[in-house]
A = this chain, B = another copy of it.
Amino acid sequence: MSGSTLGNLFAVTNFGESHGPAIGCVIDGCPPGMALSEADIQSDLDRRRPGTSRHVTQRNEPDSVEILSGVYQGVTTGTPICLLIRNTDQRSKDYGNILETFRPGHADYTYLHKYGVRDPRGGGRSSARMTAPTVAAGAVAKKWLFEKYGTQFKGCMTQIGDVVIPFESWEHVPNNPFFAPSADVSALEDYMDALRKAGDSCGARIRVVATGVPVGLGDPLYDKLDADIAFAMMGINAVKGVEIGAGFASVAQRGTTHGDSLSPDGFMSNNAGGVLGGISTGQDLDVSMAIKPTSSIITPRASIDTAGNPSEVVTKGRHDPCVGIRATPIAEALLALVVMEHALRHRAQNADVRVATPDIARQRG
C-alpha cells in the first residue's frame, strides 16, 4: 500500500525521478493472452510528450518505452509488466537558487519537511514528467477494455485561463496542440502568446469521457467508482478540482431536473455522469477537472530560504505556460486505470450474476 501504487487488482507501481536514470512502472495483474507491444503504448506517450508545439515546454525527451517483462512472443503472460523509460535529458541544469529556497506553488517546501532530503533535479518526483509511466500503464488498460467491452476514452480542453472553448466536435481534438474540440484555435494561440510574453501562466479545465462502460462497476461504500475517479484525477499534478456529471452545477439544480429519468431506450439525460450510488450506470462516464496555473514562471516571487529567512525566487528555463495543455492524455489514462481496476474487481465478486433487466444504456449505444 505504500503510496506509489495505483489500483489493487490492476496495480500500477510508479518509480523514478524526472532527471534520474529512468522512470517507469510495474503493472501487476494484467490479464494474460492480450497482444501487446511497445507500439501500443508509445502512441499515448507521444500525445503527452513535451516539445510538440511552441505552447509547451521545449524539453526534448523521446519517452521511448521498453517492455522488460510480462510479455512473451508479443502476448501478455499475466505476470508483472515492467515498463521502462530511460531519461535522456539528465544534464546538470542551472537550478538558480531553488536548492536553498522554496518555489511558491511547488512541492519543494513540503518534500523537505516530509523527507528531510529531496532530489531537486527537474522537480524530482513531483515533476509532471512522472505522469509518463501512468500514461503508459493507461494505454495497456485502454487496450484491454476496448477489446473486452468496447470501452473507449477521450478527452479535451474546455477552458484555458478565462477563455471558454466551445465544444464543436471530438474530431478536432487531435488537430491542434490544445486538445481543443474546436476547428479554430487562433484565439487560444493568441491568448497563449500574450501570456508567455507577460511571463505568466494560466490554468485550464479538462474534460474526459469514457464510452461503452459496463454497467455495475464500483462498490457501494467506500470504493465508489466516482470516488476512485476523483482520487485519480485530483492526483494529477496541478489539479485542484474534480466534478462528475452535473458537478458543481448540481448545487443550483432541482431534484426534478437533476435525477436522470429512465426509458426503455436508455437514460434520458446524464446529470449523474455515468455513476449512481458509486456504481456505473452504463452511460458515459463524464468527468471535468480544474488545473491550476503553472507554478514555474519567470516573474520573481517572494519566498524564504531553507533557514527560514526571506528570499526571492526566479524560475529559470522554459516551462509549460499552461500545464493543462498536456493533461488530456493523462486524464484519459487515469480514467482507464480506474475503470480497469473496477472491471476486474467486479468480476471477482460478481461473475455469476445474471440479471433479467436489460442493460438500457448499452443497448442504446
Q: How many copies altogether?
A: 4
Q: Are A28 and B16 in contact (CB under 8 A)?
A: no
Instruction: Report Cα–Cα, A208/B278, bound state, in Å.
Output: 22
Q: Which residue of B lies closest to A76 (CB)?
A: B117
Instruction: Report Cα–Cα, A247/B113, bound state, in Å.
Output: 24
In the complex, which residues of chain B have a beta carbon less than 8 angstroms from the beta carbon of A226?
234-235
Q: Are A279 and B230 in contact (CB under 8 A)?
A: no
Q: Which residue of B lies closest to A199 (CB)?
A: B256
Q: Tell me if A77 counts as interface (CB < 8 A to partner B).
A: yes
Contacts A29-B349, A69-B15 known; A258 to B293 CB distance under 8 Å?
yes
Among the 9-residue stretches A43-51, A173-181, A259-267, the one with 4 or more Cβ atoms under 8 Å from chain B is A259-267
Question: A1-39 toward B: CB 8 Å interface, digit per residue (1/0)?
Answer: 111111011110111110011111010111111000000
Partner of A253, one of B148, B255, B293: B293
* Interface-centre pick from A9, A82, A275 (highest chain B CB count, 10 A): A82
Q: Are B353 and A111 in contact (CB under 8 A)?
A: no
Contacts A9-B1, A82-B22, A306-B357 known; A292 to B271 CB distance under 8 Å?
yes
Q: Are A23 and B264 in contact (CB under 8 A)?
A: no
Number of interface residues of A (CB under 8 A): 166
List CB contacts (< 8 Å) of A320-365 with chain B. Answer: 344-360
Q: Tell me if A65 counts as interface (CB < 8 A to partner B).
A: no
Instruction: Report Cα–Cα, A234/B226, bound state, in Å.
Output: 7
Partner of A115, one of B243, B290, B309, B353: B353
Partner of A8, one of B2, B124, B243, B260: B2
Q: Tell me if A291 counts as interface (CB < 8 A to partner B).
A: yes
Q: Tell me if A139 counts as interface (CB < 8 A to partner B).
A: no
In the complex, which residues of chain B have a beta carbon less than 8 angstroms from the beta carbon of A360?
304, 308
Instruction: Report Cα–Cα, A32/B33, bound state, in Å.
Output: 29
Q: Tell me if A138 counts as interface (CB < 8 A to partner B).
A: no
In the complex, which residues of chain B have a beta carbon less than 8 angstroms from the beta carbon of A228?
231
Q: Tell me if A183 counts as interface (CB < 8 A to partner B).
A: no
Determine how close the nearest CB of chain B comes to the CB of A301; give it in whole angstroms.
6
Determine how close the nearest CB of chain B comes to the CB of A205; give it in whole angstroms.
5
Contacts A224-B234, A353-B32 known; A5 to B11 CB distance under 8 Å?
yes
Q: Tell me if A70 counts as interface (CB < 8 A to partner B).
A: yes
Determine how close the nearest CB of chain B comes to the CB of A75; give it in whole angstroms.
6
Q: Which residue of B lies closest to A131 (CB)?
A: B221
20 further contact pairs, Cβ within 8 A, besides A8-B8, A114-B216, A202-B254: A3-B29, A4-B219, A9-B348, A15-B68, A17-B77, A21-B69, A22-B68, A103-B259, A105-B259, A107-B277, A113-B215, A113-B216, A195-B254, A200-B254, A201-B255, A203-B253, A243-B290, A249-B290, A264-B309, A308-B360
